[in-house]
């Protein structure tokens, strides 16, 4: 029984390690996903900045065009003879001047947007670089942890091998059979008559039998191999550890 308890402890530890090792690549994947999202965000902001810059240049061209129209209109004005024509020309200049000031307001608006957007871009770039560095460190750390855990797992596996040699083949088969079907836990201590794996009460007769420790019993509910958890000899640490 003591051997089985050691074996179970070994298997539980191995299972934990395997789960934690399996988490490593998932964590790395998650980090890389966030990094890719950040790249996308940054690229989108850069693109927006480019588009806005192009629009601003367009407006500047429009302003130049209006200015040249105003210049032409002014030249025309100095050559006009009739009053009616003069009025019309003045109105044209007036309209063009209004249009120019509208475009100038728009250009200022774009300039402000550009300023704030390029500031955002710069911040995003910095954030992205910082996170890139963080991810590299974190990846290194995770890989290191994984290799440490892998070594621990190998040493546990050797320990398990030693335990297995001391347990009879039939018992080992039974143990492994239950363990595979019971989420890695083939063994359960019973405290105060209650199976600690499924929390069901063991019938008094079987409990008494368990305390006598003459045969290997199982829990009538979860079918795991049970042992009397209050037995002092099972509480001692294994000499192997």
Cβ of residue 25: shortest distance to Zn ion, in angstroms? 35
Beta carbons of 221 and 198 less than 8 angstroms apart? yes
Nearer to Zn ion, 149 or 186 (CB): 186
40-62 burial, b at 16+ Cβ within 10 Å, e below that, comes to eebeebeeebeebeeebeebeeb
Considering only 52, 89, 152, 198, the residue that binds Zn ion (CB under 5 A) is 198
Q: Which of 241, 227, 232, 230 is nearest to 5 (CA)?
A: 227
Stretch that binds Zn ion, among 19-27, 78-86, 99-107, 222-230 (CB under 5 A): 222-230
44 vs 200 by CB, closer to Zn ion? 200
Q: Are 42 and 124 in contact (CB under 8 A)?
A: yes
Binder among 219, 225, 227, 228 for Zn ion (CB under 5 A): 219
Task: Report the residue number, 103 or 197, with the smaller CB distance to Zn ion.
Answer: 197
Please choose, out of 55-63, 108-116, 173-181, 192-200, the segment that lies near Zn ion by the rule CB under 5 A.
192-200
Q: In Å, how far are 50, 62, 82, 107 from 113, measured between CA atoms?
A: 12, 19, 47, 10
Give the one residue of 67, 131, 222, 231 binding Zn ion; rule: CB under 5 A.
Answer: 222
Instruction: Write the CB contacts of 226 (distance below 8 Å, at least 6 apart in sequence).
Output: 187, 188, 189, 190, 195, 202, 210, 217, 218, 219
* Shortest Å, Cβ 13 to Zn ion: 21
Contact segment (CB under 5 A) with Zn ion among 38-46, 83-91, 122-130, 191-199 equals: 191-199
- Six-digit token string for 106: 């728009």
The residue from 68, 221, 233, 240 that contacts Zn ion (CB under 5 A) is 221
Cβ-based nearer residue to Zn ion, 187 or 197: 197
Q: How many residues bind Zn ion (CB under 5 A)?
A: 6
Q: Which stretch binds Zn ion (CB under 5 A): 123-131, 139-147, 163-171, 214-222?
A: 214-222
- Of 38-46, 103-111, 134-142, 189-197, the window that binds Zn ion (rule: CB under 5 A) is 189-197
Q: Which of 4, 96, 149, 195 binds Zn ion (CB under 5 A)?
A: 195
Please give the structure tokens belonging to residue 130. 């910082």
Spatial separation of the C-alpha atoms in residues 77 and 82, rounded to whole Å: 10
Do 177 and 214 form a contact (C-beta atoms < 8 A)?
no
Quick check: 178 and 216 in contact, CB under 8 A? no
* Smallest distance from Zn ion to CB 12, Å: 16
74: contact with Zn ion by CB under 5 A: no
By CB under 5 A, name the binding residues for Zn ion: 195, 197-198, 219, 221-222
């Amino acid at each position: 029984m003591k051997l089985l308890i050691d074996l179970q402890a070994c298997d539980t530890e191995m299972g934990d390690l395997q789960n934690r090792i399996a988490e490593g690549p998932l964590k790395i994947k998650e980090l890389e996903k966030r990094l890719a999202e950040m790249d996308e965000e940054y690229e989108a902001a850069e693109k927006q900045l480019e588009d806005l810059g192009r629009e601003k240049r367009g407006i500047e061209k429009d302003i130049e065009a209006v200015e040249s129209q105003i210049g032409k209109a002014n030249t025309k004005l100095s050559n006009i003879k009739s009053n009616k024509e003069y009025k019309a020309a003045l109105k044209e200049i007036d309209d063009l001047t209004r249009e120019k000031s509208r475009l100038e307001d728009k250009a200022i608006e774009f300039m402000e947007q550009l300023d704030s957007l390029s500031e955002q871009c710069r911040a995003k770039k910095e954030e992205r670089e910082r996170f890139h560095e963080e991810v590299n460190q974190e990846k290194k750390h995770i890989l290191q942890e994984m290799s440490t855990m892998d070594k621990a797992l190998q040493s546990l596996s050797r320990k398990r091998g030693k335990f297995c040699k001391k347990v009879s083949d039939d018992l080992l088969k039974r143990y492994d059979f239950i363990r595979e079907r019971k989420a890695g836990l083939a063994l359960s201590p019973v405290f105060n008559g209650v199976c600690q794996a499924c929390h069901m009460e063991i019938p008094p007769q079987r409990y008494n039998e368990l305390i006598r420790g003459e045969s290997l019993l199982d829990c009538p509910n979860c079918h795991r191999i049970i042992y009397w958890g209050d037995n002092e000899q099972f509480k001692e640490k294994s000499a192997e550890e």
